[in-house]
Amino acid sequence: MTNLLLAVIYLAFISLGLPDGLLGAAWPTMSGDLNAPLSWAGGVSMVISAGTIISALLSDRLTLRFGAGRVTAFSVALTAAALMGFSFAPNYWVLIVMAIPYGLGAGGVDAALNNYVAVHYTSRHMSWLHCMWGLGALIGPYVMSYALASAHGWQWGYRSIGILQIVLTAVLVLSLPLWRSRTQTTVAGGGVEHDNDTENGATPAAQRKPLGLLGVLRISGAPQILIMFFCYCAIEQTAILWASSYMVGVDGLAKDVAATFTSMFLIGITAGRFANGFMTMKFSDATMIRVGTALIALGIVMMLMPVHSTALAGAAFITIGLGCAPVYPCIIHSTPAYFGADKSQAIVGVQMACAYVGTMLMPPLFGVIAQHTTIALLPWYLTVFVLLMACMHEWLRALRRGSMHDVALS
């Protein structure tokens, strides 16, 4: 039963990634069909991001009341309805309206499943979970490109993914008894980890109250881990958005070659998370975060080298992608260990909100900076966030050691 539920969770994360690349892949065609300027894609993207932030902040309250299984099933259903709405949209403003449930659903799935896996499964499953997201994010654009190439239009691209989401909603509804009956799961050390509600003396869910944003910020170490998440997403999304432009403008690569290396950056993250699943069997989350941070720093150093070549430029961004691979899942998986399973849902929800804020604001901010200065500042921009993320991680570790020392003395 445990493995069956895990398979369902993996499917849910593939579905979370499937729609992520659709808008970018289809927008050149959609904008013409809907008589919308090319730049208006940013409006749809920002509404989606705002929705994900809201649902992530509400995830603790919703999960306490309805349970992770029901929240996940409803969130996927909401996303499916939004995607079907996209496929029938007659104009741009319908897209904006449909972007609201799209964002709310995506944020609900993200926060609920990340915390559930962090509490109930080992770190390798968290890495593989995010590998599944990457798989979905890679498949989505291919589905859209097939729909466009076969003359079915972007509508059928969205409709196809929407139908898959409807099927997954049915699977999730049928799996609800598995979520309710699951009370034990094996942990890395070969022992038994009990249900989230009673682990390590945590307060049972029925007796807990939602912490809220201010409650989370008052927890020792929480601001540090939230800043880490913000910095990570700023690094990842800024690199994804501006890698091609940097390689063309600074390294002198052809546009098609630069685009290929940008896709390899995403492949590096996905493949890296698959490999990290095995590495976490031997190394702790903290070690994997440090290794990932060091690889990102190494990639930035490669960007700053005075020699400009196709091989070096590609290797730099692939190295950054490999470095990004362990950081996101290992931060999430370590959250219950740092703060307790009874607080982790609230903290993970705020982590997701910080992630979306970093994703929404930091890449455009660099665009403004590059427009008024030079895109050659990209490695220095990334360096700021890498250093801040590393400092926050070590500060969090120090607070954790101090807390353990205080408990030992009490």
Q: What is the mean pLDDT of each run of 10 residues along the chain (410 residues)?
A: 80 83 80 84 84 86 86 92 94 94 88 82 84 82 84 89 92 86 43 37 54 83 93 89 82 75 77 88 92 95 84 86 91 89 83 86 87 90 96 92 49
Q: Is residue 195 assigned to a domain?
A: no
Give phi and psi for 184, each to the nearest 5: -140, 150
Q: Is residue 55 assigned to a domain?
A: yes
Q: Is residue 203 assigned to a domain?
A: no
Q: Are 159 and 275 in a shared domain?
A: no
Q: Are 10 and 144 in a shared domain?
A: yes
Q: Are 41 and 162 in a shared domain?
A: yes
Q: Are 355 and 224 in a shared domain?
A: yes
92-120 vs 123-149: helix crossing angle, rounded to 10: 160
C-alpha–C-alpha distance, residues 246 and 34, integer Å: 31
Residue 10 is predicted with a pLDDT of: 87
> Of 179, 198, 226, at which residue does a domain stop?
179
Helix (H) / strand (E) containing 168: helix 154-174
C-alpha–C-alpha distance, residues 289 and 127, integer Å: 12
> Of 121, 156, 179, at which residue does a domain stop?
179
Q: Are 290 and 159 in a shared domain?
A: no
Q: Is residue 31 assigned to a domain?
A: yes
Q: Are 55 and 122 in a shared domain?
A: yes
Residue 224 is predicted with a pLDDT of: 94
Looking up residue 313, the CATH number of its domain turns out to be 1.20.1250.20
The CA–CA distances, whole Å, from 132 to 146, 160, 318, 336, 359 equal 21, 19, 19, 22, 20
Structural domain that includes position 295: 215-409
Residue 319 is predicted with a pLDDT of: 92
Stated pTM of the model: 0.76
Q: Are 398 and 305 in a shared domain?
A: yes
The alpha carbon of 37 is separated from its chain's Cα centroid by a whole number of angstroms, namely: 28
Residue 93 is predicted with a pLDDT of: 95
Residues 6+ apart with CB under 8 A from 236: 269, 324, 328, 359
Q: Are 120 and 223 in a shared domain?
A: no
Q: Is residue 127 assigned to a domain?
A: yes
C-alpha–C-alpha distance, residues 231 and 236, integer Å: 9
Q: Is residue 163 assigned to a domain?
A: yes
Residue 1 is predicted with a pLDDT of: 61
Q: Provide the token pair at 138.
A: 């890679």
Q: Is residue 205 assigned to a domain?
A: no
> Of 135, 151, 179, at which residue does a domain stop?
179
C-alpha–C-alpha distance, residues 264 and 270, integer Å: 10
Residue whose C-alpha is closest to residue 137's, from 114, 177, 106, 104: 106
The CA–CA distances, whole Å, from 27 to 100, 103, 174, 264 equal 18, 18, 35, 22
Q: Is residue 190 assigned to a domain?
A: no
Residue 234 is predicted with a pLDDT of: 92
Number of domains in the chain: 2
Q: Are 169 and 227 in a shared domain?
A: no
Q: Are 232 and 121 in a shared domain?
A: no
Residue 268 is predicted with a pLDDT of: 82
Q: Are 171 and 223 in a shared domain?
A: no
Instruction: Let me know: does 62 contact 56? Beta carbons within 8 Å.
Output: no
Rounded-to-5 percentages of helix, strand, coil across the chain = 85, 0, 15
